[in-house]
Structure 1
Amino acid sequence: MSIVDQAQQTQLRNIQAKTGKTLDELKALVAASGLAKHSEILAMLKKELGLGHGDANAVAHFALKAATTPAGAKPAATGGDAVLDEIYTGPKAPLRPIHDKLMARIHEFGDFEIAPKKGYVSLRRKKQFAMIGPATNTRVEVGLNLKDVPGTARLEQQPPKGMCSHKVKVTDPAEVDSELIGWLRMAYDGAA
């Protein structure tokens, strides 16, 4: 099981603990709502269960995937590996070890949500603390949300009101060093 799949499983376990409902009960709640659009299911879960966006998104994906998988059939590969395989495909495939090393180190911090997007993954606690994805065929960019941290040559400050306050360009797994992990930890702690 990949690190992303492990994180998704942890997130679903945490949601069950928060709501007091099993995955089957959550799936049944979505089915009983009669809603079919992801955005409508997301809004319903936020309202009915008081879930945050990331948790509601995870339940919506789980319920929709379960609803489209025939009884007895094994679900298609739509987990973290499939998403990452799509992001790190073709000329960007050699960048996957950078991503995997970053995620392994970030998982040491504790629980967080992984929200896969089209070309990157968003990492969230109560709010987004980082984004990781290939910016080009030769580098991964790590977007960070850091408050009151001045930029440096390596920790590039971004324009205000962007998705992230800072960004770090990573071209080799060896660049996932204590300095970068320190910034990621500050962003993680600041998103609690």
Structure 2
Amino acid sequence: MSTIDKQLETMLANIPEKTGKPLDQWLAQLAPLGFAKHGEIVKFLKSEHGVTHGFANLIAAKALEAGARADAPADPVAEQYSGAKAALKPVYDAVVAYAQTLGDDVEIAPKKASVSLRRKKQFALITAATRTRIDLGLALKGEPATGRLETYNAMCSHRVRLESLADLDEDVRGWIAEAYSRAG
């Protein structure tokens, strides 16, 4: 066991003594409050309960890890591609299936409103932007924006708009593969 693992184990064991409650009671108290951010939980624990910063930080991390947020959807992908956006699910599935052919190290990380594709770092972001379009963000910093490959935002330098399976053509697959190779 590493030194860090031992320190974490010690802190977890000391939560009841140092904070006045065991971790499971903190988690039960936090769950109905619906905090969405780590910092919000830390601030609440410190200001309302006098928990020291280190223990507040640990409890907040465990609360989010345990899914203690009341608003967390059970299946974020199913939520994203439901209702008016349901017709986009085959396009999403095809993008993910292609990304998985690039290597065994592709991680699919669903969030509330998007799905991140990562390797050592994020290389793509799939967002059901409208009822008729997926925005496929790609980490291709330094590449010129041309035609379908548009400039995007800070997280993903470029975007490609996908409205049908036909849009996932050789060009798009090439851009995904390039973004994947850069994330290694």
Alignment of 1:68-107 (within 5 A): 78=74, 82-107=75-100
Amino acid at match of 1:149: E
The CA deviation string for residues 47-79 of structure 1, in whole angstroms up to 9 with x for no partner, is xxxxxxxxxx8xx3xxx26x9xxxxxxxxx93x
Give the alignment's Cα RMSD to 1 decimal. Answer: 3.2
For residue 158 of structure 1, the aligned residue among 147, 152, 163 is 152
Greater Rg, structure 1 or structure 2?
Answer: 2
Aligned-partner Cα distance in 2 for 1:41–1:144: 34
Tell me by how many angstroms 1:43 deviates.
Answer: 5.7
Amino acid at match of 2:178: M
For residue 110 of structure 2, the aligned residue among 112, 116, 131 is 116
Q: Any stretches of 5+ residues in structure 1 without a counterpart?
A: 1-18, 21-28, 45-56, 68-76
Aligned-partner Cα distance in 1 for 2:144–2:174: 14
Q: Any stretches of 5+ residues in structure 2 without a counterpart?
A: 3-8, 16-22, 31-36, 39-57
Equivalent pair of 2:76/2:113 in contact (CA under 8 Å): no
- Assess, with a 3 A threshold, how the Cα gap between structure 1 residues 176 and 41 changes in structure 2: closer, same or farther: farther
Alignment of 1:6-155 (within 5 A): 32=12, 35=23, 36=27, 39=38, 40=58, 60=65, 64=66, 78=74, 82-110=75-103, 111-155=105-149
Aligned-partner Cα distance in 1 for 2:141–2:85: 31
For residue 177 of structure 1, the aligned residue among 169, 173, 179 is 169
Tell me by how many angstroms 1:112 deviates.
Answer: 2.2
1:131 match: secondary structure: strand
Are residue 186 (structure 1) and residue 161 (structure 2) matched?
no
- Assess, with a 3 A threshold, how the Cα gap between structure 1 residues 41 and 150 changes in structure 2: closer, same or farther: farther
Amino acid at match of 1:156: E
Tell me by how many angstroms 1:134 deviates.
Answer: 0.7
The CA deviation string for residues 71-115 of structure 1, in whole angstroms up to 9 with x for no partner, is xxxxxx93xxx2211011110011000000000000001112222
The count of residues paired between Structure 1 and Structure 2 equals 136
1:135 match: secondary structure: strand
Amino acid at match of 1:167: R
Tell me by how many angstroms 1:119 deviates.
Answer: 1.2
Amino acid at match of 1:122: S
